[in-house]
Amino acid sequence: MTPRPVGGSRGVFLVGWLVGSLLIGFILAPLIGLAATQSPGVLLAVAAMPDVREAIGVSLVAALFAAELGLARPALPWHTSRLRIADLAAGLAGACAAAGKIARDITLLAQSEVGEVREGSAVAEGNRRDQAGGDQAGGSSAMPHKRNPVAAVVILGCTRRAPGLAATLLAAGEQELQRAAGGWHAEWEPLAELLRLTGSAAAWSADLLAGLQVDPDRMRASLDAAGGMPMAERVAGLLAPAIGRLAAHDLVAEASREAAGSGRPLGAVLAETPRFASQLEKARIGRPELAAALDPASYLGGTGQFIAAALAAHRECEDRLARHRRESQ
């Protein structure tokens, strides 16, 4: 499932990181609302003091306690009702998944053999610079030319651990009666660790994307090096009205295999092999039309609309997050 897609989808693919980064913030921001007070001991103590109970009431004490801490006031104590913890774990793991997807893509595209993206030369405004490489983030003490995608690697180191921690928290959610024997205690370490890892992944993601360098020329060179293969679908579509959809698919598939085996461009194989050229002629596809069909710029489809939609989603998410921050103050 890793062959290069059609050229127009690369722009959609990259702008998907923008939406993914916003989803991290959009997932994390509402989680603060899950934090609620847990004070049955205090409230029971008040209930046991008639003078205090009659003067201010248990309900008011609960409200004042929640207000003092800046937390939500639950309707009931939630010692063994762990849905808040389950929702928090799921949200944190989801944010890690979004961060990990971006980081994984970048490690693949930053490989020497691909080289379509690279991390900025000073990750996190210089305060996380690689000590061995000086100002060159990801530098190597032994290989001066080397630039490791350090931010992406650190993000993946965090996010790979999130599913297991979330699973532990969900497994601990089934707790007995009013006090858990082990389930509550099993939450402490994984929850603290999941919070730490998610916060670290989110911070590194912000640094990574802020300094990411994209090389459009390298992307185009990689696309050209594919010899027209990503545009095979386009050629089959042009042949289909004349020879039928299945026949067009099989013809282009056979030509693609021959091109891959011989190392020749797909266009050359189609135009110079008699059995393929005759079918192109039947469909009135000459060399100029074939060259145009194999040009990725001619097959962008809905790329522009997708990118516009992603940018619109970016603006909307930024506005919603800004409103959430204002309301949380």
Q: Is position 140 annotated as part of the catalytic site?
A: yes
| DSSP string covering 33-87 | GG-B---HHHHHHHHT-HHHHHHT-HHHHHHHHHHHHT-B--SS--SSB-HHHHH
Q: Is position 129 annotated as part of the catalytic site?
A: no
**Helical segments of the chain, H only:** 8-28, 40-47, 50-55, 58-69, 83-109, 150-159, 162-171, 183-211, 216-225, 232-243, 245-262, 266-272, 274-282, 287-293, 303-328
Distance CA 211, CA 131 (A): 18
Chain position carrying tokens 């000459």: 286
Residue 164 tokens read as: 């297991």
Distance CA 130, CA 124 (A): 11
213-214 and 117-118 strand pairing? antiparallel
Q: Which of 160, 179, 196, 284 is catalytic?
A: 179
Q: Which of 121, 140, 200, 222 is catalytic?
A: 140
| DSSP string covering 11-32 | HHHHHHHHHHHHHHHHHHGGGG
- Whole-angstrom CA distances from 229 to 97, 154, 254, 262 are 31, 35, 12, 13
Closest CA relative to residue 232, chosen from 295, 301, 298, 294: 294
Q: Looking at residue 126, what DSSP letter applies?
A: G
Residues in the chain: 329
User: What is the distance in angstroms between the CA of the first residue and the CA of the last residue of the chain?
Assistant: 46
By annotation, the residues acting in catalysis are 140, 179
